[in-house]
Amino acid sequence: MNARVRLPVHTDQHAPSYYAASANRSLAFPELAGDERADVCIVGGGFSGLNSAIELVRRGFSVVLLEARQIGWGASGRNGGQLIRGVGHDVERFAPVIGDEGVREIKRLGLEAVEIVRRRIEEFAIDCDLTWGYCDLANKPADLAGFAEDAEALRALGYRHELRLLQPGQMHEVVGSERYVGGLIDMGSGHLHPLNLALGEAAAAAALGVRLFERSPVLRIQHGAEALVHTARGRVRAKTLILGCNAYLNDLEPGLGGKVLPAGSYLIATEPLSEEQAQALIPQNMALCDQRVALDYYRLSADRRLLFGGACHYSGRDPADIAAYMRPKMLQVFPQLADVRIDYQWGGMIGIGANRLPQIGRLAEHPNVYYAQAYSGHGVNATHLAGRLLAEAIAGEQSRGFDVFARVPHMTFPGGRHLRSPLLALGMLWYRLKELL
């Protein structure tokens, strides 16, 4: 029988996900009470905040990190766990603003981003089920033609990992489904347990001297030569502030909040499958993703559950029963799972930007406030890169990467906080209709 679990988006606890149930450490940081002082105050305890903290403390800065709920409570502790090369989409579009050299830099950094995750895990010996191997899945022949071009472009960039195109008759090598007409295997991308990665990074940050606080939502920012950040029971005074709240920023900094649109994405986890079942579904234990606007993404967990994700709700409303909503999507791909139990269901908020390039920069009106957000559903690698680039910029190091990202302008979604979701929902409906034609 399907579990019937409601999504507690507004509680302080982790979502009732497979990840929360299989977290391999339990960390508890205090609530902020009283006054703290730091070189840098970071708001948000997801991958963006944690990686900025690690990079900064290593450069000799004193750092306070404030998380509204628990470390990894946001998208970082709930996502599909797919660690995929690249940042942004169609980055050539930005050539008129950042030049061909800037485009090349972003592409290069999109590959470096995965290496930062790899090194972080190795260096701190973080146990998070890291597994290499990923395959892009073609829904139509044009996707496959695009994969061939992607592979060429990656090789031209010096990508050192195995890439292999799969023709329709070869798809059984990676997926036990009749749904796809080709694929591109990439052995330099893969999958991991995202909450265990976030918890491992928080433990590493704490060991390096970062002062972390949980259950400490920032309620107000007083800007100035030093930023003064207020929570219910405390304050942090810092020369520099980083906002790493992504889709959960809301009105804390309205100018930034208007540039990121929260969209719900949802996952289900089956009961553990037998070795034979798992082998028949995903023979090489890769992460898999199709090419549609509202894409399916899935993989096996370390204990052989199918973690199946997808959908994108721009309406601001979560499905009342996520399993009932997601299971038919899973059965379209794997009808052979009709009798398999769903053990977990959960969702989280993706932060979408209008041009789908991560927004990494500093506020023009408050130059001591930096931010990283809007990874548009592809942030496991990009958040780690953002942490590095923010730290380089704050430390005054030469950072071509930060400069390139910061030069790209980002549109504010029209309609204000309450109207921008319905407007985008309409836009996305148009793209889905086009896919069907």
Ligand X SMILES: Cc1cc2nc3c(=O)[nH]c(=O)nc-3n(C[C@H](O)[C@H](O)[C@H](O)COP(=O)(O)OP(=O)(O)OC[C@H]3O[C@@H](n4cnc5c(N)ncnc54)[C@H](O)[C@@H]3O)c2cc1C
User: Of 434, 407, 350, 381, which Cα lies nearest the Cα of 91?
Assistant: 407
Alpha carbon distance 244, 375 (integer Å): 11
Contacts (Cβ under 8 Å, ≥6 apart) of 152: none
Among candidate residues 386, 343, 387, 415, the one with its CA nearest the CA of residue 54: 387
Q: Is 350 in the site for ligand X (CB under 6 A)?
A: yes
Among 7, 53, 57, 68, binds ligand X (CB under 6 A): 68
Residues in the chain: 437
Could you tell me the smallest distance in angstroms from the CB atom of residue 139 to ligand X?
18
Task: Please tell me whether residue 383 binds ligand X under the rule CB under 6 A.
Answer: yes
Give the span between the Cα atoms of 70 and 198, in whole angstroms.
Answer: 11
User: Which listed residue (17, 79, 285, 301) binds ligand X by CB under 6 A?
Assistant: 79
88 binds ligand X (CB under 6 A): no
Residue with CB nearest ligand X? 379
Report the run of H or E that residue 391 belongs to, with start and end: helix 380-394
Could you say which residues in the range 47-66 bind ligand X, by CB under 6 A? 47-49, 66
Closer residue to ligand X in complex, CB, 79/240: 79
DSSP letter, residue 437: -
Q: Segment near ligand X (CB under 6 A), from 54-62, 243-251, 271-279, 319-327?
A: 243-251
Helical (H) or strand (E) element with 347: strand 342-352
Instruction: Return the range that interacts with ligand X (CB under 6 A); candidates 242-250, 272-280, 329-337, 395-403.
Output: 242-250
Does position 234 bind ligand X by CB under 6 A?
A: no
Which range in 108-116, 157-165, 254-262, 348-356 contacts ligand X by CB under 6 A? Answer: 348-356
Residue selected from 63, 64, 135, 245 as contacting ligand X according to rule CB under 6 A: 245
Task: Give min distance, CB of 101 to ligand X, in A.
Answer: 26
* Angle subtended by helix axes 95-123 and 380-394, to nearest 10: 100
Nearest to ligand X of 133, 309 (CB atom): 309
Near ligand X by CB under 6 A: residue from 41, 57, 64, 74: 74
- Rounded to whole angstroms, how far apart are CA atoms 294 and 314? 11
CB nearer to ligand X: pick between 86 and 182: 86
Q: Of the candidates 23, 43, 185, 390, which one interacts with ligand X according to CB under 6 A?
A: 43
Shortest distance, CB of residue 216 to ligand X, whole angstroms? Answer: 6
Contacting residue, 46, 102, 234, 272, with ligand X by CB under 6 A = 46
Please report the DSSP string for 128-175 in residue order.
Answer: S--EEEEEEE-SSHHHHHHHHHHHHHHHHTT--S-EEEE-GGGGGGT-
Residue type, 195: L
With binding defined as CB under 6 A, does residue 244 bind ligand X? yes
Q: Quick one: which of 263, 279, 288, 337 has its CA closest to 2?
A: 337
Which of 39, 42, 62 shows the shortest CA–CA distance to 51? 42
> CA-to-CA distance for 208 and 199, rounded, in angstroms?
14
Touching ligand X, residues 305-344 (CB under 6 A): 309
Residues numbered 258 to 297 that lie near ligand X (CB under 6 A) are: 265, 267, 297
Site residues (CB under 6 A) for ligand X? 43-49, 66-69, 73-76, 78-82, 84, 217-218, 244-249, 252, 265, 267, 297, 309, 347-350, 375, 377-380, 383
